[in-house]
A and B are shown apart, each in its own frame.
Chain A
Amino acid sequence: MTRAVAAGAERAKGTGAELARMLGTLLWVVGGAAAVLAVLGAVPGWLTGEAGARGASSIAEAEARLGARILLPAFQPARLGWPPTEIRTAGGRRGSVLVGFTPREGAPVEIVQACEPGRAIDAPLLEGRNVLSERRTLVGARPARLATVSIDGAVWQELAVDVGGRAVLLRTRGDVDELYKIAHSFHGRFDDPEGAP
């Protein structure tokens, strides 16, 4: 009887060890595969330098790169013209974008935005920016912030607004009223009592 119990215990021990070996190996193999896939998935970001900003030749190219629609205002002063003179993206998929207009006459305007609600604008698009002063303001009934910033030595007026949860910065080196008009016109989103699109 004792021998039978000992043999049974030995068998159970062997079974347990085999089960543990099987599961351990499976975890090791699947975990390794997941790690390799994750690294391979991250490589394009490293190669293209998601850490920095990349230029794009068109809005369509930037949208394809970001995998998101870029918010454009309904009102755009005629003096700015189209297409934008500068488009830069950062942060990879669902990152951020800067759309710049440098007209032949008058002050330049830039629209910087995050492409995902709740996400901050990626740092490469804010490089060289120092806030000199900042105050709260309203765009319609919506809270906003108006700041004076220095970017690479040049002074800009910057209006920070929230469009459907997405952080948007409007900058100009000229008329601040123009920024408010542009901010108002983001496809009527600011007039929507629910706010977010």
Chain B
Amino acid sequence: MASATWGELLAQAILHALVASLLVEALVRSWSVREPWQRMSLRLLALGHPLFVFPALVVLFPSRGGDPFRAHLALFAGRGWAEVSLLGVPLFDLWVGALASLGVVLFLLDAWPILRRRRRPPLAAAPADPADGARLARELPFVAARLGLSPPPVLHLHREGPVLFCTGVRRPAVVISSGTLALLDDEELRAALAHELAHVARHDPLRSWVLMAGRALMCLNPAFQVLSRAVARDAEWLADERAAEACGDRVALASALLKLHRASTRPPPVPRTLPFATTLAEPLARVQSLDIEERCRRLLDPAPAPLPFGRVRLVLAGTSLAGLLFFVV
């Protein structure tokens, strides 16, 4: 009785993540799930499948790897594609190789900038101008109080470019540049700070590292990589919603987002000389612009209400997913 090989297990893990993510996306759309936390929960369910449920299925039900299961019970058996060849290469090997390569590329697209950034010297914080310092001292405690936090430390950068993010796993801090302070008015600054503090309140820096570790573990799995990006986007939307709720001005946050995005995507002052230098950069910038556009649209609408039976939906989706993927080998 032939049991599953490592290649087949990899193929199964890729396929399970693919089916899980497609099924969850279909549910998100057909149930019209708009509330970011509910969207994120459903996507985390799909993300957890290849990490936890699939290994459990392999360990608890070894008979799934056997021929009788493949022949009589499996809805889809990846090994069947080994019988179909293209130019002498089994299609099974081709699609596993292609998907695994795609997974590595998607992982490196996000991991490479992080690795490069770690080589640079740490951020050089400097005291803010008195006027900027006064604005921050006024807005930050107000927003932190609205989110039930003590105000985190602020690292101020003397830069013209817009910089605003939160950092630190154990000791979170907000990094802001003088360019950002000059760009945003008081309402927009309050909303933008609320967005960053919403990340801090949810321990998003820590969560993002956990997610990155999962992506590294699943670096051959393209569906996992795409889904992780979707979850990261949901985290942004969730922070938007919390921020809008805390500062009570959705339009100010949308305006701040637009201003910061426009300022950060101005064309570089020195034109690139290599013919294909912008081949990858332009589509990525376009995707980022579309994402900002979507976030702004959402902020112009009223806050989305959570769907009823949220937990029931989650349990049903998880059970259906596990049940369906039990028969995919």
B254 interfacial contact with A, CB 8 Å: no
Complex contact B71–A94 (CB within 8 A): yes
Q: Which residue of chain B lies nearest to A18 when distances are taken between CB atoms in the complex?
A: B308
Complex contact B71–A45 (CB within 8 A): no
Question: Which residues of the other chain, A, contact B328 by a CB distance below 8 angstroms?
Answer: 37
How distant is A42 from chain B, measured CB to nearest CB, in Å? Answer: 8
A19 interfacial contact with B, CB 8 Å: yes
Complex contact A34–B67 (CB within 8 A): no
Q: Which residue of chain A lies nearest to B32 when distances are taken between CB atoms in the complex?
A: A25
Question: Which residues of the other chain, B, contact A68 by a CB distance below 8 angstroms?
Answer: 67
Interface string of A16-43 (1 = CB under 8 A from B): 0011001101101110111001101101
Complex contact A34–B313 (CB within 8 A): no
CA distance A43 to B68 in the complex (A): 19
Complex contact B80–A45 (CB within 8 A): yes
B74 interfacial contact with A, CB 8 Å: yes
CA distance A38 to B71 in the complex (A): 12
A93 interfacial contact with B, CB 8 Å: yes
Complex contact B308–A33 (CB within 8 A): no
Question: Which residues of the other chain, B, contact A43 by a CB distance below 8 angstroms?
Answer: 84
Complex contact B26–A48 (CB within 8 A): no
Stretch at the interface among B130-138, B242-250, B316-324: B316-324
CA distance A47 to B90 in the complex (A): 13
A65 interfacial contact with B, CB 8 Å: yes
B10 interfacial contact with A, CB 8 Å: no
Q: Which residue of chain A lies nearest to B20 when distances are taken between CB atoms in the complex?
A: A33
CA distance A192 to B39 in the complex (A): 62
CA distance A195 to B315 in the complex (A): 49
A73 interfacial contact with B, CB 8 Å: no
Which chain A residues numbered 52 to 88 have a C-beta less than 8 Å away from chain B? 65, 67-68
Complex contact B320–A30 (CB within 8 A): yes
Please tell me the number of chain A residues within 8 Å of chain B, measured between CB atoms.
29
Which chain B residues numbered 113 to 162 have a C-beta less than 8 Å away from chain A? none
Interface string of B264-277 (1 = CB under 8 A from A): 00000000000000
Q: Among the listed A23, A37, A65, A92, which residue makes an inter-chain contact with B75, where contact means beta carbons less than 8 Å apart?
A: A37
Q: Among the listed A19, A23, A33, A34, which residue makes an inter-chain contact with B22, where contact means beta carbons less than 8 Å apart?
A: A33
CA distance A38 to B328 in the complex (A): 9
Q: Which residue of chain A lies nearest to B81 when distances are taken between CB atoms in the complex?
A: A44
Complex contact A33–B19 (CB within 8 A): yes
Q: Among the listed B23, B77, B313, which residue makes an inter-chain contact with A22, where contact means beta carbons less than 8 Å apart?
A: B313
CA distance A65 to B68 in the complex (A): 14
- CB within 8 Å for A93 and B84 given contacts A22-B31, A26-B27, A29-B30: no
Question: Which residues of the other chain, B, contact A34 by a CB distance below 8 angstroms?
Answer: 75, 324, 327
CA distance A156 to B316 in the complex (A): 60
How distant is B317 from chain A, measured CB to nearest CB, in Å? Answer: 7
Complex contact A18–B81 (CB within 8 A): no
CA distance A83 to B308 in the complex (A): 68
The 8 closest A-B pairs by CB, nearest first: A41-B76, A67-B67, A44-B80, A37-B76, A93-B71, A94-B71, A37-B75, A30-B320
Residues of B within 8 A of A (CB): 2, 19, 22-23, 26-27, 30-31, 67-68, 70-71, 74-77, 80-81, 83-84, 91, 308-309, 312-313, 316-317, 320, 324, 327-328
A-B contact pairs, 18 of them (CB 8 A): A22-B309, A22-B313, A22-B316, A23-B316, A26-B317, A28-B30, A29-B26, A33-B22, A34-B327, A37-B19, A37-B75, A37-B328, A43-B84, A44-B81, A67-B67, A93-B67, A93-B80, A94-B71
User: Besides A33-B324, A65-B83, 14 other CB < 8 A contacts?
Assistant: A19-B309, A22-B312, A29-B23, A30-B320, A33-B23, A34-B327, A37-B328, A41-B76, A44-B91, A45-B80, A67-B70, A68-B67, A93-B67, A93-B80
